[in-house]
Amino acid sequence: MLKQWISTKEPYPVYVGSGLLSEAGNIFTEEFSELPKKTVVIISDSNVAPLYLHQAENSFRNIGCNVHTYEIPAGETSKNWALLGQALEHLAGLQITRSDCLVALGGGVVGDFTGFAASIYLRGIPFLQIPTTLLAAVDSSVGGKTAVDLKAGKNLAGTFWQPRAVLCDTDVFRTLSSEIFLDGVAESIKYGILRDQNLFADILNGGFQSRCASIVSRCISMKGEIVSEDEFDRGTRELLNLGHTFGHAIETCSHYQVTHGHAVAVGMHMAGIAAKRLGVCDPTCSGTITDALLQLGFHLECPYSPDDLYRVMLRDKKRKGNTIDLILPRSIGDCVIRPMPIADLLSCLQEQ
């Protein structure tokens, strides 16, 4: 088992390894000694619950916790106010107190939903993350961003609320479809492009097949490093948006039929081309990114016109007045935040 700490204001441990789920209760108790006395509510979704809820429940029961479970429908549409309200009412009905604990067992949807519920129920109660998708493991379970969606867009209402601990059992990735696994691969290779050329190379050389826990752990440590530099997203954390400004536009244009990681992969390819045209990176760098993404199995054609993407990007919540920040690679392992005037954005898209 690999263990590391995320250095936010309240530091917390992240455990990664194979076969951890059935030991989750014991492992969490190592650093969270009050856990066995608590009532825990495990929140999961309708795909994950039949596969893993029983194991998780037993592991908490075995250490003495009083365990309740709560299931939400699988899918992004569960990140809504109405369902969040129902979950909060349910917690109140169970008389959950501030000294109890929520557990998110699922992908990013369950993690964001549970984290948000934990952050506002009784003005904040502890929660634990057990990510079950690769994307949730390397990205959403660490960093404390919680959210639900509004009609106007995704993740428009939320809080910063860090988990007490995160446990990732890499065995659960076996039941993911290859498409959903690839979503997480996109976020993982992103860390390599951002800050670590060895990680980039190791992922390309089949790291997920041969040393999954180690690769996941390195991705988490990269996310932890960036989050601890900027817990509340006022500066360097923006680097994590590599590929996301273009990617979000693609997701929106597709009405979310293109999944997040696949859209981000196309977005990173586009960021590489933009960096080359703007003279930010050397010419080989953008080709290296594109080849890597193709090798990993992504399709990089963008089915939307520059005009369509431009219209959506104007509404991007990361827009700052007349500029929009693009994260551009200088080389593999080194990226910069480059404000692009809105006036130049359309031609940048047309040059893709």
Ligand X SMILES: NC(=O)c1ccc[n+]([C@@H]2O[C@H](COP(=O)([O-])OP(=O)(O)OC[C@H]3O[C@@H](n4cnc5c(N)ncnc54)[C@H](O)[C@@H]3O)[C@@H](O)[C@H]2O)c1
Report the nearest approach of ligand X to the CB of residue 276 (Å).
Answer: 27
Give the C-alpha distances (Å, rounded to integers) separating 13 from 53, 224, 225: 22, 11, 13
Pairing, β 39-45 against β 101-106: parallel
Contact 100, 125 (CB under 8 A): yes
176 sits near ligand X (criterion: CB under 6 A): yes
The 8-class DSSP code of residue 307 comes to H
132 binds ligand X (CB under 6 A): yes
Determine the distance from the C-alpha atom of residue 9 to the mean position of all C-alpha atoms in its chain, rounded to a whole number. 20
Q: Quote the CA–CA distance of 203 and 17 in Å, as a whole number.
A: 17
CB neighbour list of residue 153: distance below 8 Å, 6 or more residues apart: 252, 315, 317
- CB-based closest residue to ligand X: 108
Exactly one of 57, 100, 169, 183 binds ligand X (CB under 6 A); which one? 183
Which CB, 171 or 282, lies closer to ligand X?
Answer: 171
Is 245 a binder of ligand X (CB under 6 A)?
A: no
Q: Using CB under 6 A, which of 13, 17, 25, 108 touches ligand X? A: 108
Q: Name the minimum Å distance from CB 197 to ligand X.
A: 23
Tokens standing for residue 146: 């919680």
Among 16, 21, 43, 48, indicate the residue that binds ligand X (CB under 6 A): 48
Q: What is the DSSP letter of 282?
A: -
Q: Closer to ligand X at the Cβ: 140 or 286?
A: 140
> Do the beta carbons of residue 267 and residue 246 sit within 8 Å?
yes
Among 17, 25, 106, 207, binds ligand X (CB under 6 A): 106
Which one of the spans 27-35, 129-137, 231-239, 273-281 is the region binding ligand X (CB under 6 A)? 129-137
**Residue 136 contacts ligand X per CB under 6 A:** yes
Would strands 323-331 and 334-341 be described as parallel, antiparallel, or unpaired? antiparallel
Which listed residue (59, 114, 119, 133) binds ligand X by CB under 6 A?
133
Interface residues with ligand X (CB under 6 A) are 45, 47-48, 51, 74-76, 79, 106-110, 112, 132-133, 135-136, 139-140, 143, 145, 154-155, 172, 175-176, 180, 183, 260
